[in-house]
Chains A and B, each alone.
Chain A
Amino acid sequence: MKCYQCGNRLSKEDFCTGCGADVGVYKKILAMSNYYYNDGLAKANVRDLSGAALSLRQSLKYNKRNMEARNLLGLVYFEMGEAVLALSEWIISKNLEPVKNIADEYINALHESPTRLDNIDQTLKKYNQALQYCYQDSKDLAIIQLKKVLSINRNLISGYQLLGLLYICTGDYDNAKRTLFKALSVDASNTTTLGYIKEVNRLIREQEEKTGKKVSSLPMDTISYQNGNEVIIQPVYEKEKKGFSSIVNIAIGIGVGIAISWFLIFPARMSGQNRMNDEKFKEVSEQLAAEQASRQEIEKALQDKQNQMDELQRQYDDLTGASGKRTELDYLMDAATAYVADPTDSLTIMEQMDHIPEEYVDSAKDSYRNLYNALKADTATLAADQYIESAKSAVKANDYKTAIEEYTKAWLLDKSNSDVLMNLAHCYRQDGDTQKADELYQQVIDTFPDTQNAADARDYMTEGE
């Protein structure tokens, strides 16, 4: 606090220690201003906006330079829906104290949102229009206009009050009370609002007494409580009757809870569980598929090995004779055994040796080939003679088929005997196969050209033709 005359900081004394001016009254004036500011602040905190505005205006009457009071008054006006009054207070505040003034922020906040400012202006114009309708006694139009205003500017106290007054005058007490309750939720202790509510209640009671019926569904009284900086005002509802209705409500609550669990929570949990199961199933399926592939590979490898082993076993059996199939070695051994048993039994020996192909002998080991050749040399001539004898016996019996077989064997063993070849040709001719017979006659002519048989062969061939 500074002296109004010299600007010196004031002490506890009632005079200025700098210039000696009497500051006792001056200090009391500033103290009163601060007192009303504190009162206004306390009222604003409990949402008694109209009371706060009154105190703050009083504070400014004592000291126009009380910036806290002026800025708070602007805020209170703004909360009451009177944006223009709020703006004017902040502008004055800004002019009186240009630096470090929070009013600057409030003004900037409004200017930064031109749409909001425009909306506020529109609602104020509509409110004034509604007021004009009232003056012209057009209550219906005024009500419609005020409803529009309050749907945009929900804090305009004078709007609620005027609308409430219109409802009272039109006899719509229910809506009047609703509207006035809304006004109370903005400004908790507005005397005009409270007066209208009281009047509405009186009118409702009168009407109920006249008609004997309940006129309003709303209760007569209100309760208010503070929630932080907000003062909540709501009608006093009758206490709910306990007893059977409580049980029914609890049962309904449980039912709703179960329904919510069943339709919302349970499907969500089931869905989550199913998703987890699907993931596990997929994982297990992949593992199973991998194991199956691995097993198939192992089985295939095993089958290959088994086949290889079978092939080797078969080859081994063939070689060792364990499979029952007789090998070239077996035939040679049988032939040798027959030779040892009876060297003159050339037919048995040759019969065994006939099973051995020439190619095998050529590719066989030397010991095998030597034994084969020795046996063949020893038995070939003798065997050939025996075949010739058998063939002759067959010819006598007119069995040319057997004779052909026997002469063929004899020819294969001894290809130096032209008689054998000649007789073989005869047998074919006798058997009816003249073509084969002519081939053999020609062979006789070619192989033994200067023999009697060759000459005879020519005759037979001619005879044959």
Chain B
Amino acid sequence: MINFEEELKKFHPSLEIEGVEDAVRNHDMTDMTDIFLAMMKEKTDAAIQARAEGQAQAQAQMEQMMYTHLG
């Protein structure tokens, strides 16, 4: 059984010519490639940061060892 009020909610005002600019501007252009690239960038950044942290840690350990052994 069709409920007219409910069905009417499915219909939306059609975009008019004046609304083209807004439609283009507000168009969500994000796609899977954007998400993928963002993920890849995040992954790369994390790797770079991890490498930098590892290097700093290794350097600190080296300095610690030098103080201990050389006095």
Binding site for B on A (CB under 8 A): 4, 21-22, 25-26, 29-30, 32-33, 60-65, 82-85, 87-88, 91-92, 117, 120-121, 124-125, 127-128, 131, 134-135, 158, 161-162, 165, 168-169, 192, 196, 199
Contacts and interface: CB of A to CB of B under 8 A. Distances in A.
21 contacts: A4-B33, A4-B37, A29-B32, A61-B31, A61-B32, A62-B31, A62-B32, A63-B31, A64-B29, A64-B30, A64-B31, A64-B33, A84-B16, A84-B17, A84-B23, A85-B23, A121-B16, A127-B13, A131-B13, A162-B11, A196-B2
Contacts of A165: 2, 4, 7-8
A10 to B, nearest CB: 14
Contacts of A196: 2
A29 B15 contact: no
Nearest to A135: B8
Contact of A158 (B11, B20, B32): B11
B2 to A, nearest CB: 5
Contact of B36 (A26, A134, A168, A192): A26
Contacts, number: 88
A85 B36 contact: no
A124 B2 contact: no
Contacts of B40: 4, 21-22
B14 A128 contact: yes
Nearest to A81: B14
A21 B40 CA distance: 10
Contacts of B11: 131, 134, 158, 161-162
B14 A158 contact: yes
Given A61-B31, A88-B24, A92-B27, A117 B2 contact: no
Contact of A128 (B16, B24, B31, B36): B16
Given A29-B36, A61-B31, A63-B32, A88 B14 contact: no
A117 B14 contact: no
A121 B17 contact: yes
Contacts of B37: 4
Top 3 nearest A-B pairs by Cβ distance? A84-B15, A64-B31, A88-B23
Contacts of B71: none
A153 to B, nearest CB: 10
B13 A84 contact: no
Given A62-B33, A88-B23, A158-B11, A168 B2 contact: yes
Interface string B6-50: 011011011111011001100101111110110010000000000
B15 A85 contact: yes
A349 to B, nearest CB: 142
A121 B10 CA distance: 21
Contacts of B19: 84
Contacts of B31: 60-64
A60 B32 CA distance: 9
A120 B14 CA distance: 11
Contacts of A120: 17
Given A25-B36, A84-B14, A84-B15, 17 more contacts: A4-B36, A60-B31, A61-B32, A64-B29, A64-B31, A64-B33, A64-B34, A65-B33, A84-B16, A84-B23, A88-B15, A92-B24, A121-B16, A161-B11, A165-B4, A168-B2, A199-B1
